């Protein structure tokens, strides 16, 4: 009598899909109710599923595409002017008066980048955006660098926008002050749920608040200009505060230190450019003609964002708005520090209170609209990040689960991944906009610079192919625009790196480098797997085993084992044996007696187990079979129980699960699970039907 491992107790076999796996492993009356509940809950949250042929119905007209893709750039007027004012305040109140000129420089760059990206969307309308442009024209590594920068910047967009929104909401409701991180976390979760419903639903939700915000800012501007013209414009609540400059700037903006501070203010204000690239990534979501509509939306974005930024900085300067990093140490009120309960409000809030009054209805509408648009500004990232992740997944740089759309035709996995990344940053930085914004815009200007250089190469290459003079003239004009865009974005990138590196930009650069290495590693893995699994012309013949040996695992002689014997015999293997492990001599003897009593026409081998192990004797036996016949195939049949209650799974199938897991790593071994449905699985069967 030989000695072999006992057939482990049955374990739930991995099913071809998640739903089937859950039904096979844990289904039953209670589990069925749970699954039905979660399915119904999902439908309430994200809506009913869409067929693939409904994709065209999710495309956006320009009036919806503008708030969907431009909300990030439009909302930046809520924090970019504040960062300019805050940075200049380091040199005292006199330096703050230069904020409109710094803003003007930012607007020039903004309009140049918008003009450059209008060329991009016409040349590359597939939705790959900066990643595609850099990959095609500068090489794979450059494309992956751009992709890493964009993905980090998208995560930061959500974190910065939500944190800024939380600060504005805390302004409107003072009792919420100190809970900004909680507010931002809730906002990210809500926004993720909205985007899981699909891009068109998200656009319909965001359109009205975005247009309300635009109306509020321009109405406030009109009222402020009228008051300024009539001499009735008041002073902001912080206008009378004395700013204590840092020791290095006691003399104001003089020397290299002053020039450096101006550049630092400019780099902070350049946050207004974030979101411009999202339209080039979202061209496939526009209605036809896609490129034309995307270019028009870009033009509207540039004009509106520049106008709003100019308005806020003009009014902030006219009303004397002062913003500092720490009002309790950098402000003096009549020679003393502000009271401990003083809360510094953002610039839009101070301007609105100056023009309309702090307790007025217009004030609350403007502050609320600003907070809401900052929440919705994150939607730009929720549209750009999943699309970019899908393209990278198709190219093999990210897991393939990110490449497909969910049942609402949105890239659900990408939405969830972006939300998780933003939540981590918000919690880690406690929703502090000033700290987060130091990490910001590095990535987006890396992508700006690379894409503009790629477009210059693109037009240079295309000019060699075209002889038609009008077409060549348009290409040459586009090349000039992209060349100007490249020079300007490269300059801003260098300024950002120099002025923000120590303040936190190094963290963003490190994150980009880590992400680059991860994505390159994923691509290398996929390439290696593809090479390893490639089918040669004659490999099917080489893959045929010389013989097939069937092995049936036996613990006790019961119905599941008998069924496994029947299945194994039906496959007509070259050899067939049953094996059991001698863990308990009494039980082993009973198993042998039952085997003989039923006259099962398969030899039963018993393997000794002096240390009362099941797995080791079995694996050693299988390895011995492989050594004796390395070209043969071994098929191991494992009986399994299909149970109906979750707790039943805990008391069955555990040994078999370990055996199957271990055998999966053995070459030349195939595991075949033979299911046996217990009575408690009746509900599971009904669920399947």
- The 10s digit of each residue's pLDDT in 257-266 is 788 888 888 8
Mean pLDDT of 107-126: 86
Could you report the per-residue pLDDT of 200-228, keeping only the tens digit for each? 555 566 678 888 999 999 999 999 999 99
Q: What is the pLDDT of residues 617-663, one digit of tens each?
A: 999 999 999 888 888 899 999 988 777 666 666 666 677 888 888 88
Helix/strand/coil percent split, the chain, to 5: 70, 5, 25
Nearest CA-CA partner of 448 in 282, 273, 295, 588: 273
Asked if pLDDT for residue 23 goes beyond 50, the answer is: no
pLDDT(615) > 50: yes
User: Which pLDDT band holds residue 29 (cuts at 50, 70, 90)?
Assistant: very low
| pLDDT above 60 for 28 | no
List CB contacts of 211: < 8 A, sequence separation 6 or more. 67
User: Does 565 share its domain with 459?
Assistant: no
- Tell me the pLDDT tens digit for each residue of 62-74: 788 787 777 777 8
Asked if the model's pLDDT at residue 6 lies above 50, the reply is: no
- For residues 554-575, average pLDDT: 90
Number of domains observed in the structure of the chain: 2
Q: What pLDDT score was predicted for residue 14?
A: 33
Query: For the segment 365-380, what is each residue's pLDDT rounded down to a tens digit?
Result: 998 888 788 777 777 7
Residue 470 sits in the same domain as residue 612 = no
Residue 541 scores a pLDDT above 80:
no
Instruction: Give the residue, 522 or 8, on which the prediction is more confident.
Output: 522
According to the model, what pLDDT value does residue 530 have? 81
429 to 129, 382, 426, 433, 507: CA distances (angstroms) = 30, 21, 5, 8, 12
Is the model more confident about 47 or about 134?
134
Q: Could you tell me if residue 469 is inside a domain?
A: yes
Quickly count: other Cβ atoms within 10 Å of residue 104's Cβ: 13
More confident site: 6 or 245: 245
**Rounded average pLDDT over 603-621:** 88
545 domain residue, yes or no:
yes
Q: Which two tokens stand for residue 190?
A: 């809500």
DSSP string, 201-223: HHHHHHHHHHHHHHHHHHHHHHH
The helices-and-strands tally (H runs, E runs) of the chain is 28, 7
pLDDT at 201: 53
Considering 112-116, 157-161, 165-169, 242-246, the range whose residues carry the highest mean pLDDT is 112-116
Mark which of 528, 558, 588 sits at the end of a domain.
Answer: 528
Residues 524 and 545 occupy one common structural domain = no
- pLDDT of 32: 47
CATH number of the domain where residue 203 is located: 1.20.1740.10
pTM, whole model, 2 decimals? 0.69
Binned at pLDDT 50, 70 and 90, residue 15 comes out as very low
The last residue of one of the domains, among 499, 528, 557, is: 528
Judge if 506 and 648 occupy the same domain.
no
Sequence-ordered alpha helix ranges (H) in 51-139:
62-75, 80-88, 93-96, 99-123, 129-138
> CB–CB of 13/673 below 8 Å?
yes
> How does strand 548-553 pair with strand 575-582?
parallel
Average pLDDT value for residue range 481-495: 90
Q: Is 656 helix (H, G, I), strand (E, B) or coil?
A: helix
In a domain, 410, yes or no: no
Same domain, 601 and 470: no
> Are 460 and 598 members of one domain?
no
- Contact (CB, 8 A) for 120 and 451: yes
7 part of a folded domain: no
| pLDDT at residue 356 is higher than 90 | yes
DSSP 591-624: HHHHHHHTT-SS-EEEEE-TT--SHHHHHHHHHH
614 assigned to some structural domain: yes
Position 134 in a domain: yes
Q: Is the pLDDT of residue 35 over 50?
A: no
Provide the percentage of residues in the chain whose pLDDT is more than 90: 24
Residue 409 has a pLDDT of 53
From CA 546, how far away is CA 668, in angstroms rounded? 11
Tell me: the pLDDT tens digits for 465-476? 888 888 899 899
Same domain assignment for residues 496 and 561: no
Asked if residue 239 has pLDDT above 90, the reply is no
Task: For residues 206 and 114, state if they share a domain.
Answer: yes
Cβ 83 vs Cβ 269: under 8 Å = yes
Tokens of residue 91, six digits: 């040199």
Does pLDDT of 57 surpass 60?
no
- Out of 85-89, 150-154, 267-271, least confident range: 267-271
Which has the higher per-residue pLDDT, 226 or 281?
226
The domain that holds 558 is classified in CATH as 3.40.50.620
Last residue of a domain, one of 486, 503, 528: 528
Residue 363 lies in a domain: yes
Question: Are 311 and 373 found together in one domain?
Answer: yes
Check residue 25 and give its pLDDT.
Answer: 36
Peptide bond into 287 cis (omega under 30): no
Q: Provide mean pLDDT across the span 30-41.
A: 48
pLDDT tens for 431-460 read 887 778 777 778 888 988 999 999 999 999
Residue 678 contacts residue 643 (beta carbons within 8 Å): yes
Return the pLDDT at 407.
Answer: 54
Q: Which domain covers residue 565, as residue numbers?
A: 18-38+541-688
In the predicted model, what is the mean pLDDT of the chain?
Answer: 80
User: Does the pLDDT at position 11 exceed 60?
Assistant: no
Comparing 23-27, 505-509, 566-570, 575-579, which segment has the lowest mean pLDDT? 23-27
- What integer is the mean pLDDT of 587-616? 90
Q: Which residue has the higher pLDDT, 316 or 246?
A: 316
3 located within any domain: no
How many angstroms separate the CA atoms of 421 and 442, rounded?
Answer: 17
Report H helices in 282-411.
290-319, 327-330, 347-356, 361-394
246 and 314 co-located in one domain: yes
pLDDT at 10 over 60: no
Shared domain for 223 and 308, answered yes or no, is: yes
Strand partners, 588: none
- CB neighbour list of residue 298: distance below 8 Å, 6 or more residues apart: 114, 117, 118, 121, 276, 279
Whether 124 and 263 share a structural domain: yes
pLDDT at 168 (0 to 100): 72
Q: What is the CA radius of gyration of the chain?
A: 33
At residue 568, the pLDDT reads 93
Question: Three-class SS of residue 6?
Answer: coil
């Amino acid at each position: 009598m030989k000695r072999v491992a006992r057939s482990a107790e049955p374990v739930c076999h991995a099913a071809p899909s998640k739903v089937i796996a859950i039904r096979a492993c844990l289904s039953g009356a209670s589990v069925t109710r749970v699954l039905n509940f979660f399915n119904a809950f999902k439908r309430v949250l994200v809506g009913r599923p869409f067929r693939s042929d409904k994709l065209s119905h999710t495309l956006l007209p320009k009036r919806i595409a503008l708030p969907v893709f431009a909300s990030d750039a439009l909302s930046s007027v809520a924090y970019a002017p504040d960062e300019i004012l805050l940075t200049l305040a380091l040199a005292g109140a006199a330096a703050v008066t230069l904020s409109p000129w710094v803003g003007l420089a930012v607007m020039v760059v903004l309009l140049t980048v918008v003009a450059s990206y209008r060329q991009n969307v016409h040349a590359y309308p597939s939705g790959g955006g900066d990643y595609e442009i850099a990959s095609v024209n500068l090489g794979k590594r450059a494309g992956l660098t751009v992709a890493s920068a964009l993905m980090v910047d998208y995560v930061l967009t959500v974190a910065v926008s939500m944190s800024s929104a939380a600060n504005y909401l805390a302004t409107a409701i003072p009792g919420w002050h100190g809970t900004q991180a909680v507010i931002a976390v809730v906002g990210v979760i809500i926004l993720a749920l909205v985007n899981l419903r699909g891009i068109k639903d998200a656009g319909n939700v965001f359109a009205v608040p975005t247009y309300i915000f635009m109306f509020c800012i321009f109405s406030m501007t009109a009222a402020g200009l009228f008051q300024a013209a009539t001499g009735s414009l008041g002073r902001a609540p912080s206008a009378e505060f004395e700013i204590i400059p840092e020791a290095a700037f006691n003399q104001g903006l003089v020397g290299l230190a002053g020039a450096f501070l101006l550049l630092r203010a400019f780099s902070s204000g350049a946050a207004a450019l974030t979101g411009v690239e999202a339209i080039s990534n979202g061209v496939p979501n526009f209605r036809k003609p896609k490129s034309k509509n995307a270019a028009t939306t870009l033009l509207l974005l540039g004009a509106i964002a520049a106008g709003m930024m100019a308005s806020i900085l003009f009014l902030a300067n006219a009303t004397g708005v002062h913003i500092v990093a720490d009002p309790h140490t950098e402000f003096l009120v009549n020679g003393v520090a502000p009271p401990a309960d003083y809360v510094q409000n953002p610039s839009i809030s101070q301007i609105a209170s100056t023009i309309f009054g702090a307790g007025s209805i217009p004030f609350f509408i403007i502050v609320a609209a600003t907070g809401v648009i900052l929440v919705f500004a994150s939607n730009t990232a929720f549209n750009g990040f999943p699309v970019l992740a899908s393209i990278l997944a198709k190219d093999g740089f990210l897991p393939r689960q990110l490449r497909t759309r969910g049942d609402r035709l949105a890239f659900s996995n990408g939405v969830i991944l972006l939300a998780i990344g933003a939540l981590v940053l918000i919690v880690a930085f406690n929703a502090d906009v000033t700290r987060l914004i130091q990490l910001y815009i590095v990535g987006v200007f890396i992508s700006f610079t690379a894409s503009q250089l790629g477009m210059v190469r693109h037009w240079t290459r295309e000019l060699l192919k075209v002889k038609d003079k009008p077409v060549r003239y348009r290409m040459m004009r586009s090349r000039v625009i992209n060349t100007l865009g490249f020079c300007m974005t490269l300059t801003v990138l260098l300024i950002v790196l120099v002025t923000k590196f120590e303040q936190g930009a190094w963290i963003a650069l490190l994150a980009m480098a880590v992400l680059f290495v991860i994505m390159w590693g994923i691509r290398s893995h996929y390439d290696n797997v593809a090479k390893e699994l490639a089918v040669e012309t004659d490999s099917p013949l080489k893959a045929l085993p010389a013989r097939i040996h069937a092995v049936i695992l036996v613990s006790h002689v019961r119905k599941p084992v008998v069924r496994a014997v029947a299945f194994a015999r039906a496959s007509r293997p070259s050899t067939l044996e049953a094996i059991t492990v001698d863990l308990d001599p009494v039980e082993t003897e009973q198993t042998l007696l039952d085997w003989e009593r039923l006259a099962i026409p398969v030899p039963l081998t018993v393997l000794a187990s002096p240390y009362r192990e099941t797995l080791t004797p079995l694996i050693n036996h299988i390895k011995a079979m492989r050594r004796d016949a390395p070209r043969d195939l071994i098929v191991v049949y494992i009986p399994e129980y299909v149970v109906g209650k979750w707790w039943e799974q805990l008391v069955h199938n555990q040994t078999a699960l370990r055996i199957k897991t271990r055998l999966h790593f053995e070459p030349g071994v195939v595991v075949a699970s033979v299911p046996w449905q217990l009575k408690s699985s009746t509900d599971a069967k009904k669920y399947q039907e």
